[in-house]
Chains A and B, each alone.
Chain A
């Protein structure tokens, strides 16, 4: 896992500028006021989002690790996508929160509020609600909060605007440098 951590850190920091720019675009487009700089890395440890002994983990509470990941998978559920694609979006947000009290409380309080609603309505914490439908009903209640919308917005960019994932969605991405599609399947269809 430590090896994994190093690789991810390197590749993520190489992409920092691009990710910042893309995230900025999305924010301006959707007119969100929250500002999570998508920076640094994706540190994946033990199925959670960040190292349990990290400063962020201590401040936010270890439970948020798994709560936020579950929430991310419920927002854009693609069962065949590995956790890393979700954690790559969340980890930088949490790392940024480690040095920004406002962001930290947004995440920590957000995760806490999920558990509060879950325990009131289902008697268990959010991650222990078995049915997706019930978890969605909890998320619906905080849907318009900056906490939820900032995570949703970051995930939209991290999943659907992620060139690494485009082949899995059957999307081609940039085409001009390959000569476009005029000779690469422009009119190929076999079922019409």
Chain B
């Protein structure tokens, strides 16, 4: 636990971020004997810090540094400074995620081949196939403890009351609904307890039944003596030498003191806003547009999934909060069937919010008040609902840029996030709203509320993988096309978003990337 590396040690891998990508990479490397320093912008929380309280945990763990959301989408009005709902702390967004762990479908790795050119979108095939990913998905499911999979043999959680309502509605309209494969223990496993269904998965799991790098990968990596985690270390820029290789990372500690940690390899895993921001902030005379940006794609193609919410009110109680947050998924429309009026697919993820968040999201923004809203909230215990999660189109103009004048507390330009629908996203969301209403009507809904998208927890695509250097930022291993010893290890490397929640794929890619980095280091290629 107490391993300390010297700032001038240039034999280390420096990993920026400790979430699904960075935390996993650190542990995978550590198990192979490869030494790393993990620079984490946020604090290290303890299990005692985790409470079953939506607003308190929001205030405690969220990434709340200044950001702007711009563009014509409603989210820019409702949440002008909160594009993303992610975590600043050791463990990153794996503290907040609901644990949904699904593999991509085969066609989702080759959306360009599947649908051809989609006008107005920047669609590309991944330089990786499902077949290549399968062994790594298997390893990821074992590592994370995903219930309902062959990899672990752990059973599902069982049907909660919330699940039963949706399942019945799905049955009545002939839609396929299954319990969710969650990285949440249903048996004691890997030193962590079985889920007791607190219903606060997204506030951090108080008992550690849900996989988070905070209490799995990170302490395991530290236990090897090969990994040093430095919390409250905000990266300012990545340095390089005159050959263009990266040589170290400049960061500010909690007191604002700057340090330069030398590095043999740098892996960026700060989520899809911070990762491209770091590369852009590292612009130099040699790389005037930012590191690894010869393609101009750093920060572009920002994807969040096509989302929205649907909450139905019934005559009798459901008590949806007495459940894992995501007890099940309606899979009926996850395939790619353009006859629906959109390409790509979506899942309806059964998901509950507590009353405090429901009051903020049922009709967010300035106009969310009045009797209709109050009457719906009075029916909170009779609600059941979905979070729509569909593949969204990569659009180059959906992007992360740097504010021209405004700086944050670290003196870094504030990130500006532009995100709006591609027409395919709008068609898909409307399809999902309509099918959801049919489903809920079939089981006797008195009222069905459609919720607009709220700040994104799934952030992808801003340093995307591509076969050719001209089309993207990194190659099939997450290695920068332009700089051999610079890697991207988080969801920003996604070429397209798939419909599935990104974490399992991020972890599978990190396991695979660790193999590659170890191999390349051994061969002295990096």
CA of A181 to CA of B327, assembled, Å:
13
- B206 contacts A187, C-beta separation under 8 Å: no
Instruction: Return chain A residues, CB-CB under 8 Å to B197.
Output: 175, 180-182, 186
Other A-B contacts than A76-B377, A186-B322, 10 sampled, CB-CB below 8 A, are A21-B56, A21-B59, A76-B373, A78-B374, A144-B366, A149-B366, A160-B358, A169-B381, A171-B380, A182-B197
Across the interface, B55 reaches (CB within 8 A) one of A22, A78, A171, A172, namely A22
- A176 contacts B55, C-beta separation under 8 Å: no
Q: Does B137 contact A (CB under 8 A)?
A: no
Total contacting residues, chain B, CB less than 8 A: 56
Instruction: Return chain B residues, CB-CB under 8 Å to A192.
Output: 161, 164-165, 168, 443
Q: Does B433 contact A (CB under 8 A)?
A: no
- B355 contacts A166, C-beta separation under 8 Å: yes
Instruction: Return chain A residues, CB-CB under 8 Å to B168.
Output: 192
Q: Does B467 contact A (CB under 8 A)?
A: no
- A176 contacts B207, C-beta separation under 8 Å: yes
- B360 contacts A143, C-beta separation under 8 Å: no
Q: Does B461 contact A (CB under 8 A)?
A: no
Known: A25-B56, A78-B378, A189-B161. A176 touches B200 (CB 8 A): yes
A-B contact count (CB 8 A): 147
Q: Does B371 contact A (CB under 8 A)?
A: yes
- B318 contacts A169, C-beta separation under 8 Å: no
Q: Which of B74-82, B139-147, B264-272 contacts A (4 or more CB under 8 A)?
A: B74-82
22 A-B contacts (beta carbon < 8 Å): A22-B55, A24-B59, A25-B56, A76-B373, A76-B377, A149-B366, A160-B358, A169-B355, A170-B317, A171-B321, A172-B199, A172-B319, A173-B354, A175-B199, A180-B197, A180-B198, A186-B158, A186-B161, A187-B160, A188-B322, A192-B164, A192-B443
- A143 contacts B366, C-beta separation under 8 Å: yes
Across the interface, B370 reaches (CB within 8 A) one of A25, A31, A136, namely A136
Chain A residues proximal to chain B, CB less than 8 Å: 21-22, 24-26, 28-31, 74-78, 132, 136, 143-144, 149, 152, 156-157, 159-161, 166, 169-176, 179-182, 184-192
Say what secondary structure dominates the interface of chain A: loop
- A175 contacts B360, C-beta separation under 8 Å: no
- B200 contacts A171, C-beta separation under 8 Å: no
Q: Does B434 contact A (CB under 8 A)?
A: no
- A182 contacts B165, C-beta separation under 8 Å: no
CA of A189 to CA of B360, assembled, Å:
27
CA of A186 to CA of B156, assembled, Å:
14
The residue in chain B whose Cβ has the minimal distance to the Cβ of A145 is B366
CA of A1 to CA of B465, assembled, Å:
69
Q: Does B176 contact A (CB under 8 A)?
A: no
- B319 contacts A188, C-beta separation under 8 Å: yes
Across the interface, A160 reaches (CB within 8 A) one of B59, B159, B196, B359, namely B359
CA of A192 to CA of B165, assembled, Å:
6
The residue in chain A whose Cβ has the minimal distance to the Cβ of B364 is A30
For residue A48, give the distance in angstroms from its CB to the closest CB of chain B: 22
The residue in chain B whose Cβ has the minimal distance to the Cβ of A172 is B321
- B356 contacts A160, C-beta separation under 8 Å: yes
For residue B315, give the distance in angstroms from its CB to the closest CB of chain A: 8
Instruction: Return chain A residues, CB-CB under 8 Å to B374.
Output: 76-78
Within 8 A of A (CB), among B153-175: 158-161, 164-165, 168
CA of A187 to CA of B156, assembled, Å:
14
Instruction: Return chain B residues, CB-CB under 8 Å to A132.
Output: 371
Within 8 A of A (CB), among B325-356: 354-356
CA of A44 to CA of B378, assembled, Å:
25
Q: Does B289 contact A (CB under 8 A)?
A: no
- A169 contacts B55, C-beta separation under 8 Å: no
Across the interface, A191 reaches (CB within 8 A) one of B160, B196, B316, namely B316
CA of A150 to CA of B195, assembled, Å:
39
CA of A74 to CA of B315, assembled, Å:
25
- B199 contacts A169, C-beta separation under 8 Å: no
The residue in chain A whose Cβ has the minimal distance to the Cβ of B372 is A77
Instruction: Return chain B residues, CB-CB under 8 Å to A144.
Output: 366
